[in-house]
A and B are shown apart, each in its own frame.
Chain A
Amino acid sequence: MTIRQKLTLYWAAVLAAILVVAACSVFVIFRGQQWGALDAALIEEADTSASAIARADAGAAALVVQRLSQERDLGPAKRVRLIAGDAVVADYGSPQADLPATDGSAAHRGVVDGSRRVYRFAVMPLLLGNQPAILEDGVDASAVRNSVARLGAILLVLTPLLLAASVAGGYWMAGRSLAPIGSLADDLARIDPRELDRRLSAGTAQDEVARLAASINALLDRLQAASATERRFLSDAAHELRTPLTVLRTGLEIALGRERGADELREALRAALRDAIALCATADELLAMAALSEEAFGRRAAVNIGDLVGEAVDAVEPLVQAKNLTMTADCASTLIVEGNPEHLRRLIVNLLDNAIKFTPESGRVAIALEERENAALLRVTDSGPGIAPGDLPFIFERFFRGAGHNRAGSGLGLSLCREIVRLHHGQISARNKPEGGCEVVVTLPLRGAHSARFIPRT
């Protein structure tokens, strides 16, 4: 059911209840008033007459009754009777009057309808001499009955009509109020994800619909920014691949450009293979970056960082040996971090890889793991030339490559590390050690802790 229909239904129900109650109240009150007035007048008249009759003798009593039956101020016709015991002492008035049904028992003072509900009688007990008697003072109450019935009929017709009209009006009003939402929905449907420039017009009113439009526009802003970031990343990534591809292509073209000996050709092929492998590594990192930026965290598990460090050290063993480096690993006992094992492994491997890359032959690379204030603290140091001070603030940016001779790699390694650390609610920082070389520090909150505060270096 639409909101419009629901709103109208509730409105109709509430209004119906109100109208019915109102109509009933009006009817009951009016009826009460009409009868009340008549009854009070009848009683008063009967009362007065009864007192007069009680003081008079038989002849005078009959006269009172006769005169009473000729009164016309309470109605167009009357019938008055004086009954003592079983005998009717006096009976004057309209013969068509419907008399009240007699019950024979002691009557009491009150008002009663005639047997056909036309006349209304005031019944007044009194003492005639010593005998108990009743005075019945009746009047044709058709006027009152008719006016009450008429009101009842009017209310009976008017109430449904009013209800119908109000419901129709309510339905129309609901439609008008909800129309802006409908047009908002239409506008939204027209927005193409490729052209997120469009925004909803919030209208001039400061109402709920304007608030909704403003919220949606804010969401579109965020979407547009995210989409722009993504596109920039894609274009940066494509550029990153262009130079390595050129190296590969020109190398092969030059090798094939003229007659060459088998050795030369073999060397060219080896070089091409190295370039292709480097390209694969770059592509891997790009994919990892894309996977991370999707915010789909992937598997979440309890990860033993100490184990991962061991695996990473093993993984980079060939690189260490190739440059004749000394690698030291110093890991505390079991430290459990909640996170994605693949990402965390890549983090540690990237850090080690970076350190190895920038350390000259026969240098030293060290990785240390300790617990500090509810977090795992990972420290990777090398004995290389360190990072140029001008580059230090930018080394974690995507595709950043500082000035330097060794520009191999995609430039994504450290920015990947930063993304992974961020996803695990940790911190990463780098500095040049005073004694030379570079140190990168990563803190990751242990399982159960919240985010790691930035641990100041000692």
Chain B
Amino acid sequence: MGEPAILLVEDETRLADNLRRGLAEEGFAVRWAASAETARQELGRSTCDLMVLDLRLPGKDGLDFLREMRQGGNTVPVLILTARGSVQERVAGLDCGADDYLVKPFAFAELLARIRALMRRKSAPPSAVLKTGDLELDTITRRVRRAGHTLALSPKETILLELLMRNAGQVVTRAMIAEVAWGGAYNEFTNLIEVFVNRLRQKIDYAGSASLITTVRGAGYTLRAG
């Protein structure tokens, strides 16, 4: 199958160098374009599994490039990098066809987690019932069962579990949790998310055995895959 290919469209040389090295070490094949024109050429030459696109590019604007790409029928998942993080900018980016949106400066672990989540989303067909180990979540009825027993989860806890299950085995960052559960802004210094995750743990874990949800220090949380 080979390594998943990422096209990195970034004009700031030092940042591009860092990201290329970091992503390569994580098992991605990274191609680099320093402008929208170069990116278009690269796309013409061969496909990629995901594009990381910095909006501030010399010459053609990143958003325009993205819009044209989508209009041309290209459905590659796109993660936008930008210095502007206002709500309107986010909405504009997502409207133009982006799949996710990261504001600089970001943690590398965050970038990684979101790239993996996007790739997972692309490769896994959307299914109605998620299964991880003996956990089962019906995305339509919103019912959660473990080993056949129905668990009583609040709607938000169900949403959190869904996110963890869709990314089973991978890191889900606090920012991703906040976006999905509360629509975005959260204060990094409160332990709201921790409390949230712990409540979920209390409901889905068996007393005495290790939690299904592992805390990954400095990154986020992972739901055990097997």
Which residues of chain A are within 8 angstroms of B111 by Cβ–Cβ distance?
Answer: 250
Q: Which of B19, B56, B103 is in CB contact (< 8 Å) with A250? A: B19
Are A246 and B105 closer than 8 Å at their CB atoms? yes
Q: CA–CA, A243 to B56, complex, Å?
A: 10
Stretch binding the partner chain, chosen from B7-15, B41-49, B188-196: B7-15
What residue of chain B has the Cβ atom nearest to residue A253's Cβ?
Answer: B108
What residue of chain A has the Cβ atom nearest to residue B54's Cβ?
Answer: A243
A233-248 interface (Cβ within 8 A of B)? 239, 242-243, 245-248
Are B107 and A249 closer than 8 Å at their CB atoms? yes
Q: Is there a chain A Cβ closer than 8 Å to B120's Cβ?
A: no
Which residues of chain A are within 8 angstroms of B91 by Cβ–Cβ distance?
Answer: none
Q: CA–CA, A247 to B107, complex, Å?
A: 10
Which residues of chain B are within 8 angstroms of A275 by Cβ–Cβ distance?
Answer: 14
Q: Is there a chain A Cβ closer than 8 Å to B71's Cβ?
A: no
Q: Which of B14, B25, B58, B83 is in CB contact (< 8 Å) with A247? A: B14
Q: CA–CA, A254 to B104, complex, Å?
A: 16
Are B105 and A404 closer than 8 Å at their CB atoms? no
Q: CA–CA, A246 to B13, complex, Å?
A: 12
Q: Is there a chain A Cβ closer than 8 Å to B59's Cβ?
A: yes
Q: CA–CA, A239 to B85, complex, Å?
A: 10
B10-66 interface (Cβ within 8 A of A)? 11-15, 18-19, 21-22, 25, 34-35, 56, 58-59
Which residues of chain B are within 8 angstroms of A403 by Cβ–Cβ distance?
Answer: 35, 58-59
Shortest beta-carbon distance, A158 to chain B, in Å?
77
Which residues of chain A are within 8 angstroms of B14 by Cβ–Cβ distance?
Answer: 247, 251, 271, 275
Q: CA–CA, A159 to B109, complex, Å?
A: 95
B101-132 interface (Cβ within 8 A of A)? 103-109, 111
What residue of chain B has the Cβ atom nearest to residue A235's Cβ?
Answer: B84
Which residues of chain B are within 8 angstroms of A242 by Cβ–Cβ distance?
Answer: 83, 103-105
A114-139 interface (Cβ within 8 A of B)? none
Q: CA–CA, A242 to B56, complex, Å?
A: 12
Q: Which of B35, B58, B103, B107 is in CB contact (< 8 Å) with A253? A: B107
Q: Is there a chain B Cβ closer than 8 Å to A363's Cβ?
A: no
**Interface residue SS majority, chain A:** helix
Shortest beta-carbon distance, A163 to chain B, in Å?
69
Which residues of chain B are within 8 angstroms of A245 by Cβ–Cβ distance?
Answer: 104-105
Which residues of chain B are within 8 angstroms of A247 by Cβ–Cβ distance?
Answer: 12, 14-15, 18
Q: Is there a chain B Cβ closer than 8 Å to A456's Cβ?
A: no
Are B18 and A251 closer than 8 Å at their CB atoms? yes
| Chain B: number of interface residues, binned into ranges | 20 to 34
Interface membership of chain A positions 266-307, coded 1 if the CB is closer than 8 angstroms to chain B and 0 otherwise: 000001000100000000000000000000000000000000
Are A257 and B11 closer than 8 Å at their CB atoms? no
Q: CA–CA, A242 to B102, complex, Å?
A: 12
**A-B CB pair tally, cutoff 8 Å:** 64
Q: CA–CA, A243 to B81, complex, Å?
A: 10
Which residues of chain A are within 8 angstroms of B19 by Cβ–Cβ distance?
Answer: 250
Shortest beta-carbon distance, A402 to chain B, in Å?
7
Are B25 and A254 closer than 8 Å at their CB atoms? yes
Q: CA–CA, A251 to B15, complex, Å?
A: 8
Q: Given known contacts A242-B104, A249-B107, A250-B18, is B83 in contact with A257 (CB within 8 Å)?
A: no
Shortest beta-carbon distance, A248 to chain B, in Å?
8
Are B108 and A249 closer than 8 Å at their CB atoms? yes
Q: Given known contacts A239-B84, A243-B83, A403-B35, is B108 in contact with A254 (CB within 8 Å)?
A: yes
Q: Given known contacts A403-B59, A405-B13, A407-B11, is B25 in contact with A243 (CB within 8 Å)?
A: no
Q: CA–CA, A275 to B109, complex, Å?
A: 20
Q: CA–CA, A65 to B6, complex, Å?
A: 146
Are A407 and B12 closer than 8 Å at their CB atoms? yes
Interface membership of chain B positions 169-201, coded 1 if the CB is closer than 8 angstroms to chain A and 0 otherwise: 000000000000000000000000000000000
Q: CA–CA, A249 to B56, complex, Å?
A: 19
Q: Is there a chain B Cβ closer than 8 Å to A258's Cβ?
A: yes
Q: CA–CA, A253 to B83, complex, Å?
A: 19
Which residues of chain A are within 8 angstroms of B105 by Cβ–Cβ distance?
Answer: 242, 245-246, 248-249
Are A254 and B21 closer than 8 Å at their CB atoms? yes
What residue of chain A has the Cβ atom nearest to residue B14's Cβ?
Answer: A247
Are A250 and B35 closer than 8 Å at their CB atoms? no
Are A246 and B104 closer than 8 Å at their CB atoms? yes
Which residues of chain A are within 8 angstroms of B18 by Cβ–Cβ distance?
Answer: 247, 250-251, 254
Interface membership of chain B positions 76-106, coded 1 if the CB is closer than 8 angstroms to chain A and 0 otherwise: 0000000110000000000000000001111
Q: Given known contacts A275-B14, A405-B13, is B22 in contact with A257 (CB within 8 Å)?
A: yes
Which residues of chain A are within 8 angstroms of B84 by Cβ–Cβ distance?
Answer: 239
Which residues of chain A are within 8 angstroms of B13 by Cβ–Cβ distance?
Answer: 405, 407
Interface membership of chain A positions 2-24, coded 1 if the CB is closer than 8 angstroms to chain B and 0 otherwise: 00000000000000000000000
Which residues of chain A are within 8 angstroms of B35 by Cβ–Cβ distance?
Answer: 403
Which residues of chain B are within 8 angstroms of A257 by Cβ–Cβ distance?
Answer: 22, 25, 108-109
What residue of chain B has the Cβ atom nearest to residue A275's Cβ?
Answer: B14
Are B15 and A404 closer than 8 Å at their CB atoms? no
Q: CA–CA, A407 to B104, complex, Å?
A: 18
Most buried by B among A246, A254, A402: A246
Are B22 and A250 closer than 8 Å at their CB atoms? yes
Q: CA–CA, A246 to B12, complex, Å?
A: 10
Q: CA–CA, A245 to B81, complex, Å?
A: 14
Which residues of chain B are within 8 angstroms of A250 by Cβ–Cβ distance?
Answer: 15, 18-19, 22, 106-108, 111
27 A–B contacts from the bound complex (CB under 8 Å) = A239-B83, A242-B103, A243-B12, A243-B15, A243-B56, A245-B104, A246-B15, A246-B105, A246-B106, A247-B12, A247-B14, A247-B18, A249-B107, A250-B106, A251-B14, A253-B107, A253-B108, A254-B18, A257-B22, A257-B25, A257-B108, A257-B109, A271-B14, A401-B58, A403-B35, A404-B58, A407-B11
Given contact pairs A247-B12, A402-B58, A407-B13, a sample of 7 additional A-B residue pairs in the complex whose CB atoms are under 8 Å apart? A239-B83, A242-B104, A249-B106, A253-B109, A254-B108, A257-B109, A403-B35
State the B residues within 8 Å of A (CB): 11-15, 18-19, 21-22, 25, 34-35, 56, 58-59, 83-84, 103-109, 111
State the A residues within 8 Å of B (CB): 239, 242-243, 245-251, 253-254, 257-258, 271, 275, 401-405, 407
Q: Which 8 A-B pairs have the closest CB atoms?
A: A254-B22, A403-B58, A253-B108, A242-B83, A246-B105, A242-B104, A245-B105, A239-B83
